[in-house]
Amino acid sequence: MKGGFFKYFFLFLAVTFLPSQHLLSADNDLPFSPGEKLQFSIHAASFYVGRQIIEFEKTSQYGAVDVYKLNGHSKTSPFISIFYRLDDKWLVFMDKKTLLPLRVEKDMVEGKSRGYVTYTIDQDTGSVLIESANGGTKKTVTADNIVLDLFSLIYYYRKNPALFDTLFTFDFLEAKNVRTVQFRNAGDAEILVPKISKINKVQAVKLQQVGGIGIEIYVGKDALQLPLKLVVPSKLPRKKRMIIEFNLEKYSPGKQQQSGIPFMYKKLSF
């Protein structure tokens, strides 16, 4: 394998993980709570390349707004790091009432590059201020819809699944811009979650990107609505494509979900 292959893959990964329906949320009716922790294995073309961790933290404040914080960390395996090192950390501040992101901070190590980028989001006006600490550059872009990154999209769905029964339109936060995308509930599906069982399939709901590259998100059908699997097609040079899969391999419930956890998820304990 050549280093160029991994470079294109992780450049894509870094961009991907970097909507005006404002629904309210309350702590007691969310299928998640502070303390929840998820870990995914990452495979590219069926080859293990790294892991990703998401932690849902307790309420804090961003300015005068009560927010939840999401911590994300994507890291290549020691072997893959020989060819191309990725060590990216995200911090997402989500409005406690709407679950929409107000600020995203990204501390990244990608190959030989290092950087720190922030995204300040005004969901009411659609203004997104992008600032790079290394070069001191600033750029403001305007979104036509509510803005989500992939982390906040997953939690937004877990609170508001009915919104996806029809076409759900939002602006996706990219590295240097925003892009309007659409997702829909594509119906029930059965998938393998290897850490739960390599034989018996798990009942899930399939969320499908309409158009675009065709991202698929599989969420459990039980009350927790955990993201079990993500499938992200990646375009490579010379019209080639590669499938990137994120499979849930570890799960720790939040403080309010300590009881009534389906038995199969206990196999995913940290």
Indicate whether 51 pLDDT > 90: yes
Task: Name the β-bridge partners of 189.
Answer: 204
Whole-number Å distance between alpha carbons of 124 and 103 = 14
If pLDDT is split at 50, 70 and 90, which confidence band does 175 have? confident
Which residues are CB-contacts of 47 (< 8 A; sequence separation ≥ 6)?
none
| Run of H or E including 156 | helix 150-159
For residue 131, the tally of other CB atoms under 10 A from its CB is 16
For residue 92, the tally of other CB atoms under 10 A from its CB is 28
Indicate whether 174 pLDDT > 50: yes
Whole-number Å distance between alpha carbons of 100 and 21 = 10
Which position has the higher pLDDT, 115 or 208? Answer: 208
Render pLDDT for 12-38 as a digit per residue (tens, 0 to 9). Answer: 555 454 433 444 444 557 899 999 999
Indicate whether 204 pLDDT > 70: yes
pLDDT of residue 73: 95
Query: What would the mean pLDDT of 239-257 be, rounded to a whole number?
Result: 91
Question: Taking every pair of C-alpha atoms in the chain, what is the biggest distance, in angstroms?
Answer: 52
Please report, rounded to a whole number, the percentage of residues in the chain having pLDDT higher than 90: 70
Range with the poorest average pLDDT among 86-90, 111-115, 145-149, 249-253 = 111-115
Whole-number Å distance between alpha carbons of 224 and 30 = 9
Read off the tokens for 130: 């992008």
Is residue 50 within 8 A of residue 77, CB to CB? The reply is yes
| Run of H or E including 67 | strand 65-76
Q: What is the rounded average pLDDT for all residues in the chain?
A: 88
Tell me which amino acid residue 219 is.
V
Per the rule left: phi > 0, alpha: psi between -120 and 50, beta: everything else, 116 is beta
pLDDT of residue 240: 76
pTM over 0.75? The answer is: yes
Render pLDDT for 133-168 as a digit per residue (tens, 0 to 9). Answer: 876 789 999 999 999 998 899 999 999 999 999 999
